Structure 1
């Protein structure tokens, strides 16, 4: 999934591999799609909660003044969200062929989400895993940065990743590479890191987490396709 995610934008590669795998394991398409939708919804919510926890836990250490958007930017973002919601609603209302599968998917998703949240172990796996992911990613970035002399604390590096992911996550770049990287460099620079060191940190992070695993990931993907696992 990681190898495929570097080819298609907005996580579509990983979702396609996961969906295919779930179907091969006998899970119906509506349920498999609903599980991916729930995972995709929980990730940004958990990331936002972690971001809020960091803002409360480190109010004096973290400097966000240079990162806060102005009123015009906030209005544009809100307008874009409203337009997207209106467009989706309009399609469902005006295109009957989309309405039935969309309603079926929604019913399945709500049923599965309700069932999952009655099981504490699965709640912990879903929400705990979603919250731990940015912390682990931020720790890798911080480790690379410390080896290069990055003058930021672990909390600042993790917050920089959270802010960068929130700001650039909507840009449909393959694997998030590009917009997130630029936003991460900008955020770390706003926290006081030299631009050169911040750039080298992000490059090192991408080499370790994307480019080195890419070849073995592609080989495993090819083998799974050859053996009809996917």
Structure 2
């Protein structure tokens, strides 16, 4: 006897296949953000109290720098491929990747979102992988380059005596630079282990890199965006410290941000929560901020640049999934 609810001759479809999986997938980012916020409610409340007494003008500046950071990322992503990408969807994807990045370690979420976006734009897997690897390399090089330039101009910005055993500045800076380039190194090491894919990937990547750098617009977008993004994030932290009245020069705050993010790059914490926060607080203290003020600044910076945009970014990600953009 067959199922009486199925017409004669029709193939019965399992019930689990009839579930609205795409709709469920759209709701997952928002639900994940809710769970994450519930687990960090103490930090959110503490940072919110600090923001209530902060200078609103500087906070608006921090928000503006954060928004421009997504534009910089979009420019850098465009610079990794020869084909013109749809501007609106590219920018929306980078904003949505903010939510994915906070829920997965070591930037895996943002990479997965951009992988699906580029594949949806018609790029083959080898070229998409090459674009992601090139972005990781360029972003790491841009961040370390900015740090080296600022340290050359302000060599005594970080006061490490008392924070490190013996105040070994050279050892600290070596660790910072090594960690800052670690994402690019991990990409190269992992590729060496994929024996069946490595030859086609390298040929594609080298061809694309050569072609991209023969087009000034693509090279400018790649390296300009890769330098602009960490610079804008540093500007956002400078604005937050000014809003809270921290007695630290702007250049020293920028160096503290770049050093902290480079040092925490190799720690696979979701969204850098914990690793970046701790490194940033230590770096701000090394730059001359009181410990309590540095902690408040890190919390406020997190709220402005990550936690405040998190729910809109999650909703954007759900919309992009529903429209099959990613």
Shorter chain as denominator, the TM-score bin is 0.7 to 0.9
**Structure 1 equivalent of residue 94 of structure 2:** none
Asked whether the equivalents of residues 134 and 158 of structure 1 are also in contact (C-alpha less than 8 Å), the reply is no
**Structure 1 equivalent of residue 264 of structure 2:** 168
Asked whether the equivalents of residues 42 and 127 of structure 1 are also in contact (C-alpha less than 8 Å), the reply is yes
1:32 partnered with 2:145: no
Secondary structure at the residue paired with 1:143?
A: helix
Greater RCO (Cα-Cα under 8 Å, separation 6 or more) = 2
**Structure 2 equivalent of residue 4 of structure 1:** 100
1:63 partnered with 2:162: no
Asked whether the equivalents of residues 106 and 267 of structure 2 are also in contact (C-alpha less than 8 Å), the reply is yes
| Runs of at least 5 residues in structure 1 that lack an aligned partner in the other structure | 93-97
For residue 170 of structure 1, report the CA deviation from its aligned partner.
Answer: 0.4
Aligned counterparts of 1:3 and 1:63: Cα–Cα separation in 2? 32
| Alignment TM-score, normalising by the size of structure 1 | 0.86
Q: Root-mean-square deviation (CA), in Å?
A: 2.5
**Structure 1 equivalent of residue 249 of structure 2:** 153
| Alignment TM-score, normalising by the size of structure 2 | 0.62
* Deviations, residues 2-52 of structure 1 (Å, cap 9, x unaligned): 111111110000010010011111111111110010000111111111111
Asked whether the equivalents of residues 3 and 218 of structure 1 are also in contact (C-alpha less than 8 Å), the reply is yes
After superposition, the Cα gap between the structure-2 partners of 1:228 and 1:70, relative to the gap in structure 1 and judged at 3 Å, is closer
Once the two structures are overlaid, the 10-residue window that deviates more, 51-60 or 118-127, is 51-60
Structure showing greater Rg: 2
For residue 63 of structure 1, report the CA deviation from its aligned partner.
Answer: 3.5
| Runs of at least 5 residues in structure 2 that lack an aligned partner in the other structure | 1-96
* Deviations, residues 157-206 of structure 1 (Å, cap 9, x unaligned): 11001111111110011112211111111011012101111111111111
For residue 65 of structure 1, report the CA deviation from its aligned partner.
Answer: 4.0
